[in-house]
Amino acid sequence: MIIQKLRWGRPQDQVDVDNMITIQSPDLDWPYIEKWCDLHGTRVLLDQIRASLPPID
Identity (one letter) of the amino acid at 27? D
Backbone angles phi, psi at 17, to 5 degrees: -60, -45
Collapsing DSSP states into helix, strand and coil, what is residue 41?
coil
The domain of 11 spans: 2-52
| Position 9 in a domain | yes
Mean pLDDT for 3-17 is 95
- Evaluate whether 33 touches 2 at the Cβ level (below 8 Å): yes
pLDDT recorded at residue 54: 85
Q: What is the band of 57 on the pLDDT scale with cuts at 50, 70, 90?
A: low
Q: Which amino acid is at 21?
A: I
Q: Does residue 23 lie in a domain region?
A: yes
Can you say whether residue 56 is alpha, beta or left, with left for phi > 0 and alpha for psi between -120 and 50 degrees? Answer: beta
Number of domains in the chain: 1
User: What pLDDT score does 25 carry?
Assistant: 87
Please, which pLDDT band fits residue 4 given cuts at 50, 70 and 90?
very high
Average pLDDT, the chain: 93
